[in-house]
Chain A
Amino acid sequence: MNETTRTKRRRLPGVLRGYAPLPDAADELMQPDGRLRSVWLPLIEHLARQDKDARAQRFARGDQYLHDAGVYYRQYTGAGSTVRDWPLSHVPVLISEAEWRELSYGIAQRADLLEAVMADLYGPGRLVADGHLPAQLVAQNPEWLRPLVGVRPREGHFLHFLAFEIGRSPDGTWFVLGDRTQAPSGAGFAIENRMATARVFHDLFPDANIERLAGFFRSFRRSLEAMRPGGEDRIAILTPGQHTDTYFEHAYIARYLGFMLLEAEDLTVVDGRLMVRTINGLEPIGVLWRRLDSRFGDPLELDEDSAIGTPGMVSALRSGTFSMLNWLGSGVLEARALMAFLPRISEALTGEPLRLPNIATWWCGQAAERDYVLASLERMMIGPALSTRLPFDMDASTVLGGQFRSTAYSSVKDWLSLEGTTLVGQEAVSLSTTPAMINGRLEPRPMVVRVFAARTSEGWTVMPGGYARIGRTEDPTALAMQNGGSVADVWVVADAPVEQVSLAAGSDGPFVRRMPGRLPARSADNLFWLGRYVERAEFGARALRAYHLRREDMGAVTVPVIDELADFLDKRGLDPAAAVPEGLLDLFEQSRACAGKVRDRFSTDGWNAVDDLAETARGLAAVTVAGDDAARAMSVLLRKLAGFAGLVQDNMFRFAGWRFLTMGRALERGATIAGMLAEFSDPEAPHGSLDLAIELGDSVMTHRRRYSVGTNRLTAIDLLALDTENPRALSFQTNLLREQQALIPGREWTTQMEDVARRIYAIHARLAVAIPEDVSSAFLREVQAELLAISDALTTRYLS
């Protein structure tokens, strides 16, 4: 606020015409006298130079980036949740580097204070004993976890990664609206917002002296790596799973920083150590970045109903065998009521006042404070004392004091005196506004900024930038995305060129070729089943196409081979009467569900392809009718499936996960072909069955080229069961299995062949030495059963 601009007052560019900040709020762009803050000038000039269409085109580039990157958020409605486009407000929020530096000092001081409070609440309890904090606010807080009292982190610190919601008050100073100490999200989204915004302003951004974000993450990663005493143990991020609204970010950050992404079922505690189940057995975790709420961390000692916790986690923490950030129970610091006491606690513990104040808060469990809230109702927001929500995120339980309506109490006074210990009043302060592009013109909208701080060996470092949330209207209560709010990048603008950093090491100098980390068993399992489901869907689509083509040709005439095929489809859960049966849609949904659980291991293209398949199938199901139309729909799906297969083949790195995907596919294909051949190559099968088998085996062209005769039983068996050059043949699959299984990184010290390997070799050998005359339907059914048994054996050996 104290910066001034020397630019003369001049006519505002068109894009700013009518820009009128609210009378009782600060504005980020415009000073009270109507002049623009100097830090904004280059951006505004840049925007003013473009016409409306050019701007729209540039904004669309940012949106396209987000779409391609797969950034989304979940909107919760009464019925459930839907995935929505990421609501980027393209105009960033600009803050000068000098102002940011001041702010950072305040953030670091507050982070240190929170660490001290945390250490006390889980340690000696002096703050309560000395009267700085009412006992009931701690005892009644569901995030104060008694099993953690008296347990100290092995490296001495409870808090490592924090976020703060800050806003600017009408007098221009910053204040904290909420402390995010539990498992703050948003840092990954901040990077994505930055990527998109840098694309929108691709010709302005590079030389506009904007502080880069990568350095922050680099030092955070370094400090995590340094937390492992031996330097060997794994670093992992613990997520509640794909159904949480921030899962995208968990997967993103895991990929960005190169950490494992784990869910509760990946973890187990053995002899006081936290271990991850990998395809090669248990490996110790050294550092766990927790992204799920503490209460759910351990069903044995914390919330007993938690299905996303790891039994024994608290015990492992007690044993001091790994580092967790933030420490279990850190959510206790997020309660609104704490802000009523932090200013005095700061004085008491450090002798210093808070450099960065928080929103004025009064706990109504004290008579004087309660009276004050009552006397100042018009500018009070009153809500649950232990709520962790921002005062502006108004829900049914938070009200503006002046608009009190309740059926349970006749007056605010009654409410406050009877429920006072559970309530706080918070000052209804006006947030500052920042420009948002609305209908081609900039308009002021209220905003809050989420700022991130990470602990490093040199103390707290603050990310130079942040995650701004912008209100949909001028009403600050409409900030939440759920209410139509949007998000924006935050540019910290220096006076001089900034250091260009990236997360990657420098491109010159020696390099280390690292193998990707151990594969968690659950990830391998999901990739394996992705392979199986996709293959099953592909076969289903091909069989349905064959059915609908024949049905269309024959009309109402009864043909034994068609009835046989209808029966065959029915047994596989694919209703031949439907154009796109529910059973087929299920297979695409299952594929998508598997892929969704391993998004950290999947390229964006790979995920988009699986997602697109499921969506396309659904779309086709709504409009397709049986017969020729259905056959065409299946062709569309088969083409897209071929596209996915190509992506897997040509674009995916051959890490262990790829091998499981490939083995899943080969096992499914082998078992399917064996079963299908047993049915349709049987001497008793109706006329036309052999041609059908060749078609279901996707080998019509090959057969025509390879054999000089028409289809007979021996040519069909030769091509689909024994031919090692046909990628659809049975023995091709067993060969593929043999190759891939041997390449799975194993326990190097065992020289004996694994049981799974032995079975794969045996079945392959059996096919390799067979001649077509040997291959009866009974033989084929044995092969099918053995392949399914190998799938179970693989699961036991690697995937559970």
Chain B
Amino acid sequence: MLYDIRLEITYRYAQPAGASRSILRMMPLSSAEQVPVTGLLDTAPGPEFRQDGRDFFGNAMTEVAHPGALTEIAFRYAGRVRRVAAPREMDLSCPHDRLDEELTEVQDLGPTAPHHFVGASERVRPEPEIAAFARDAASGAPSVVAAVEAVSHALHAEIAFDPTATDVTTDPLEAFRARRGVCQDMSHILIAGLRSIGIPAGYVSGFLRTIPPKGQERLEGADAMHAWTRAWCGHEAGWIEIDPTNDMRARADHIAVAVGRDYADVAPVKGALRSSGAQETDQRVDVIPVDAAP
């Protein structure tokens, strides 16, 4: 599949803000299944300082600084990505109770090493309630992949999608107790659950092509950024990506932007500035399959 993607995140400040500095993770990842064909990241107004690089996990990272007073700033990405769906593979993952041993055998600290994705991270801490839920859901699963799918499935059934219930700072436990949330909450809860049963798990931010309801036009900018989860299932199976919000494995409709331990590692815009007043933010996303484009 070929997609044209636009992402625009705008901040407006009630009082002019100064010394703004941001780190952007908005450019899609490059991998065997996903090839960015073209892509441009910019800001309006333009930055006085810009530096492009990669972060520890290999995500494209852009630093920008705007020292002057700002009342509004927009961060924009536009590009074309080719996405190849990997063929469904055989489940080669080990039995759940062997995973710990396989994990210990990995003598590696590189970005894909599973060791980064266990224990606590900035937004995801061990929570006994979520752990108990995950244990229940995974009991009897014949393999690690099966366990991951079982927990994701159980979460999907348990938690209602509700964009009004949570925001970008909501703690996973809070969303879990409320049994409501959005993709970010679902992914965080799944990560907490999988780690609690010994399965290394991380966060993927990205885009999901949405199909408009039958008979309706696709609305411009109506899509949102999406998030799902990746889990390490042993030497043979490696990492798999699973989308608990939609109870499915990530496939050709999922376009990944950044991977990390949780949202804190992949936030599309992370910023610091001097400001005294309120701010509001607005996100617009378009994911348009090129074949279907007018």
Contact = CB atoms under 8 A, between A and B. Distances in A.
Q: Do A and B associate with each other?
A: yes
Interface stretch (A264-272, A354-362, A695-703): A264-272
Interface stretch (B9-17, B75-83, B104-112, B250-258): B104-112
B42 interface: no
Contact of A301 (B19, B23, B110, B116): B23
Interface stretch (A128-136, A163-171, A584-592): A128-136
A131 B109 CA distance: 12
Contacts of A134: 104
13 contacts: A125-B110, A128-B107, A129-B107, A136-B104, A146-B116, A270-B49, A270-B65, A271-B49, A300-B21, A300-B22, A300-B270, A301-B23, A318-B53
A139 interface: yes
Interface in A130-165: 130-131, 134-136, 138-140, 146-147, 149
A486 interface: no
Contact of A135 (B53, B108, B272): B108
B72 interface: no
A76 B15 CA distance: 39
- Sorted nearest first, the 5 A-B pairs with minimum C-beta distance are A139-B115, A311-B272, A146-B56, A135-B115, A311-B21
A385 to B, nearest CB: 12
A140 B21 contact: no
Interface string A99-143: 000000000000000000000000001001111001110111000
A147 B265 CA distance: 10
Contacts of A131: 107
A136 B103 CA distance: 9
A139 B116 contact: yes
A481 B75 CA distance: 51
Contacts of B110: 125
A304 B63 contact: no
A140 B118 CA distance: 8
Given A129-B107, A135-B115, A147-B56, A312 B21 contact: yes
Interface residues of B, number: 31
Contacts of A312: 21, 63, 65, 272
A129 B113 CA distance: 11
Interface of B: 19, 21-23, 48-49, 51, 53, 55-57, 63, 65, 67, 103-104, 106-110, 113, 115-116, 118-119, 122, 264, 270-272
Interface centre among B21, B48, B106, B270 (most CB of A within 10 A): B21
A136 B270 CA distance: 28
Given A129-B107, A269-B21, A271-B49, A136 B118 contact: yes
Chain B interface helix/strand/loop/mixed = mixed
Given A139-B118, A147-B55, A270-B65, 13 more contacts: A134-B104, A135-B108, A136-B104, A139-B113, A270-B49, A270-B67, A300-B21, A300-B22, A300-B271, A303-B122, A304-B122, A304-B264, A312-B21
A635 to B, nearest CB: 41
Contacts of A300: 21-23, 270-272
B56 A128 contact: no
A708 B103 CA distance: 97
Interface of A: 125, 128-131, 134-136, 138-140, 146-147, 149, 268-272, 299-301, 303-304, 311-312, 315, 318
Contacts of B65: 269-270, 312
A141 to B, nearest CB: 10
A129 to B, nearest CB: 5
Nearest to B121: A142
B56 A149 contact: yes
A134 B103 CA distance: 11
Contact of A136 (B21, B51, B67, B115): B115
B270 A304 contact: yes
B113 A135 contact: yes
A129 B108 CA distance: 6
A146 to B, nearest CB: 4
Contacts of B104: 134, 136
B205 to A, nearest CB: 16
A299 B272 contact: yes
Contact of B109 (A125, A270, A299, A311): A125
A304 B271 CA distance: 10
Contacts of A272: 49, 51
A315 B51 contact: yes
A527 to B, nearest CB: 22
Interface centre among B67, B115, B122, B270 (most CB of A within 10 A): B115
Contacts of B118: 136, 139-140
B51 A268 contact: no
A219 to B, nearest CB: 36
Nearest to A270: B67
B75 to A, nearest CB: 14
A136 B67 CA distance: 40
Contacts of A303: 122
A135 B109 contact: yes
